[in-house]
Amino acid sequence: MSVLVDISHRLGGFAIDARFESAGRLTALFGASGSGKTTLIDMIAGLIRPDKGRIEVDGRVLVDTGAGIFVPKHKRRIGMVFQDARLFPHLSVAGNLRYGRWFTPPAERYADIDAVVDLLGIGPLMNRRPAKLSGGEKQRVAIGRALLASPRLLLMDEPLASLDEARKAEILPYVERLRDETKIPIVYVSHSVAEVARLASDVVMLAQGNVVASGPTEAVMQRLDLLPAEERGEGGAVLDTRVLRHDETFGMTVLGSAAGEFRVPQLAMKTGTPVRIRIRARDVMIATEKPRGLSALNILPGTITAMSPGEGPAVEVGIDCNGATVLARITEQSRQALKLHLGGKVFAVIKTVSFDRANTGAGLPAEVDG
Amino acid sequence: MNWLLDLTPDEWNAVRLSIKVATVAMLASLPPGILVALLLARGQFWGKTVLNGLVHLPLILPPVVTGYLLLLTFGRRGPAGAFLAEHFGIVFSFRWTGAALACGVMGFPLMVRAIRLSIEAVDRKMEAAAGTLGANSLWVFATITLPLILPGLIAGAILAFAKAMGEFGATITFVSNIPNETQTLPSAIYTFTQVPGGDEGALRLTLISIVISMAALVASEVLARRVGRRLDIE
């Protein structure tokens, strides 16, 4: 499955000119608000007609302005989950869920209502009215409604943006299950580093209507300089790891990765389970020799491969640890004091407690990870 | 109290006729009312202001003028009247159908106004969402727009019904005041007030008129509340 978007469009004073192609399980369209993410996703859904360009999903041409092709939205079979859920107020939860199924040709109905209800845990809500649901429940029902139309592609437009932290934490595991347990490819719009790092297999980064980077999540998230200003602090290396063992004595879990072992607060996951971690650059310290008498438990040897000025007094340092890159944000003063240089051998130091639920999530299963 | 319920056959006929005329006027103007309200709420076309003006004309014209215009157009020798009579056998002049037409035309602006307001209040994002789920515009209208405007639809219909129950000027001008055919409640009351000793009859019909109008109002309140509770938009 693949999505190809190559469009240019003018909206008042705002010009959007974007091209990307992705075959990932979950492709994140990532950028600051006003970067054109929602406009792009609306074009894929057929809610906006681009001035010029081409959109293909799985080889099926949905838009080709040159050839005069524009498939209307109700014929695209592309599911959409809106930021504001948009549940139909006059229908029950069950009625909302069944809505799209009705319009799907029987031969193409692959979604099973019981499986979807079970996946999203919305069984107890079936007879309720949308007005009687919490924000998180609404969003889960909206996801279910889109899935039950048996879409070829699922679009999610900042589905968590209007929810508080507790509700986000409630929904995220469902999106992970959606990504891992269904076969539907997902395009996910977000301006949050935490969500993108946790969920995405691929990232398309947007700024002022242009694609500034795209590729696998681990690679794109290295580009701290491209992050929206308000998300800089959240930026850092994204690594795919696996649960090696649990340390019951101290309530920790040991994760294995190419870079070495990470000791993180205990995760309720079986040994061998893939885990996606994000190591915020600001949580990483650099030592030029193996530290002794230090409380931090994660000390990884590596080589400096990149150094670039960050915001204010900061320098962003890339450290290659056995093939996996860890990013550290330190001050220019420390860089000079430690005489850091490209190719220098250093140790990256990360505290166990800097890992929390916000930067540790279910990893993508290896067999489908693009 | 006995004198109140002791209606003469002619009075009963006026009551029955009024209800029939108002019901037919209301039901017949619903489809065009919805269509015109949709056009006015959402359409962007040349002549929208003209259409808006035409729809509201019966509201501002003297009813006698509207009735006379109907007579000119839908009378036996009027262009529309002659055409309909010749090709479809539908005759309006001096028939109860003419009374229904006059009442429908007079109530039309009220109905369109109520429906139009409710259409403008519909969140079009809901319709877009239905579109992404596979519904074409006709289905979107039937399954999303129509249920969401139901309270406005009911309000508009009841307004049109109430207007029809009270319509006098246009009706009497267009189809006259023929007992058993075009003599609706207001015409009958008017007739009573024109003859000596008609006070009792006029009062009886007035009270009945009040009861019917109140019943329609209460029914619309109950219906609207039930629909509103079902919709329950935060």
For the stretch A278-307, pLDDT in tens is 999 999 999 999 988 888 889 999 999 989
Looking at the structure, tell me whether residues A152 and A18 fall in a common domain: yes
Q: Which helix (H) or strand (E) holds A154?
A: strand A153-157
Residue A369 placed within a domain: no
Whether residue B133 lies within 8 A of chain A, CB to CB, comes out as yes
Task: Write the CB contacts of A312 (distance below 8 Å, at least 6 apart in sequence).
Answer: none
- With an 8 Å Cβ cutoff, is A41 touching chain B? no
Question: Which residues on chain A are in Cβ contact (under 8 Å) with B229?
Answer: none
Domain count, chain B: 1
Q: Which of A172, A146, A131 is nearest to A81 (CA)?
A: A146
Q: Dihedral angle at the C-alpha atoms of B190, B191, B192, B195, nearest 10 degrees?
A: 120
Do A196 and A250 fall into the same domain? no
User: How many residues would you count in chain A?
Assistant: 370
Average pLDDT for B177-192: 90
> In terms of DSSP bridges, do strands A186-190 and A153-157 run parallel, antiparallel, or are they unpaired?
parallel
Q: Please tell me the predicted confidence (pLDDT) of residue A178.
A: 87
Q: What is the CATH number of the domain that holds B59?
A: 1.10.3720.10
Residues A238, A210: Cα–Cα separation, whole Å: 23
Structural domain contains residue B14: no
The pLDDT score that the predictor gives to residue A370 is 31
**Would an 8 Å CB–CB cutoff place A84 in contact with chain B?**
yes
Out of A78, A89, A146, closest to residue B232 by CB: A89
Locate the chain B residue with the closest alpha carbon to A73. Answer: B132
- Please list every residue in chain A whose beta carbon sits closer than 8 Å to the beta carbon of residue B234: 131
Tell me which chain A residues have a C-beta less than 8 angstroms from the C-beta of B231: 89-90
Q: Same domain, yes or no, for A217 and A245? A: no
Q: Identify which has the larger pLDDT, B103 or A230.
A: B103
| pLDDT tens per residue, range A207-227 | 989 999 999 998 888 888 888
Structure-token pair, residue A124? 């107890």
User: How many whole angstroms separate alpha carbon A212 and alpha carbon A223?
Assistant: 10
- Residue A164: count of CB within 10 angstroms of its CB: 11
Helix axes B96-120, B63-74, angle to 10 degrees: 120
B54 in a domain, yes or no? yes
Instruction: Indicate if A12 and A141 belong to the same structural domain.
Output: yes
Residue A35: pLDDT over 60: yes
Q: How many other C-beta atoms can be found within 10 angstroms of the C-beta atom of residue A58? A: 13
**Domain count within chain A:** 2
**Closest residue, chain B, to A90 (C-alpha):** B231
The pLDDT value given to residue B234: 37
CA angle B218, B224, B228 (to 5 degrees): 145
Residue of B19, B190, B170, B45 whose CA lies nearest to B109: B170
**φ and ψ at B46, to 5 degrees?**
-70, 135
pLDDT value for A17: 92
B52 part of contact set with chain A, CB < 8 Å: no
DSSP B94-145: TSHHHHHHHHHHHHHHHHHHHHHHHHHTS-HHHHHHHHHTT--HHHHIIIII
| Average pLDDT of the segment spanning A132-159 | 93
What is the average per-residue pLDDT within A22-32? 91
pLDDT of residue B2: 60
Any domain includes B9 = no
CB of B151 closer than 8 Å to CB of B227:
yes
Best CA proximity match to A38, nearest among A131, A155, A163:
A155
User: Hey, are the CB atoms on B133 and A146 less than 8 Å from each other?
Assistant: yes
CATH number for position A267: 2.40.50.100
Burial of B61 (0-12, 13-18, 19+ CB in 10 A): middle
CB contact (8 A) between residue B126 and residue A86: yes
Task: Say which amino acid occupies A109.
Answer: R
Give A5 to chain B, closest Cα distance, Å.
Answer: 18
Within-domain flag for B171: yes
Q: Does residue A94 share a domain with residue A18? A: yes
H/E stretch holding B153: helix B150-166
Give me the pLDDT at residue B39, please: 94
| B186 domain-assigned | yes
- Give the pLDDT band of residue B219 (cuts 50, 70, 90): confident
In a domain, B10, yes or no: no
Contact A347/A300 with Cβ under 8 angstroms? yes
Domain that holds residue B133: 20-231
Using CB atoms, which residue from B125, B133, B232 is nearest to A149? B133
- In the beta sheet, which residues pair with residue A10? A15
A291 and A340 housed in the same domain: yes
Q: What local confidence, expressed as pLDDT, does residue A362 receive?
A: 73
Whether A131 is in a domain gets the answer yes
Interhelix angle B199-231/B185-194, nearest 10 degrees: 160
**Does residue B227 surpass a pLDDT of 80?**
no
A156-209 pLDDT, tens digit each: 999 988 888 888 888 888 898 889 888 889 999 999 898 999 899 999 999 989
State which H helix or E strand residue A305 sits in.
strand A298-309
Whether A19 and A151 map to the same domain: the answer is: yes
Q: What is the CA radius of gyration of chain B?
A: 20
**Cα torsion angle, A332, A337, A342, A347, sign:** negative
pLDDT score for A367: 43
* Chain mean pLDDT for chain A: 89
pLDDT at position A368? 37
Q: Look at the alpha carbons of A148, A152, A157, A159 in this order and tell me if their dihedral is positive or negative.
A: positive
Give the per-residue pLDDT at B232.
52
Residues of chain A neighbouring B124 (CB-CB closer than 8 A): none
Tell whether A158 is covered by a domain. yes
Residue A46 and residue A120 in one domain: yes
Residues of B in contact with A104 (CB under 8 A): 134
| A231 falls within a domain | no
- What pLDDT score was predicted for residue B132? 94
CA distance B154 to B111: 9
Residue ranges making up the domain that contains A304: 238-362
pLDDT at A11 over 90: no
Residue B75 CA from chain centroid, whole number: 20
Closest Cα to residue A94, out of A52, A120, A128, A61? A128
Residues B167-181 have a mean pLDDT of 90
| Minimum distance, in Å, between the CA of residue B147 and any CA atom of chain A | 7
pLDDT at B27: 96
Burial (0-12, 13-18, 19+ Cβ within 10 Å), A242: middle
Residue A89, CA atoms < 13 Å, CB-side half-sphere: 20
Q: What is the pLDDT of residue B1?
A: 53
CATH number at residue A171: 3.40.50.300
Domain membership of residue B112 (yes or no) is yes
Please report residues of A whose CB lies closer than 8 A to that of B135.
74, 99, 103
| Contacts with B148 from chain A: Cβ below 8 Å | 89-90
The answer to whether position B3 is within a domain reads no
**Beta-ladder partners of A167:** none
CA A236 – CA A277 distance, rounded (Å): 10
User: Which of B133, B147, B232 lies closest to A100 in CB terms?
Assistant: B133
Residue A102 falls inside a structural domain: yes
Which of B132, B227, B234 has the most A C-beta neighbours within 10 Å, making it the best mutation to test the interface with A?
Answer: B132
pLDDT (average), residues B78-90: 87
pLDDT mean over B211-230:
81
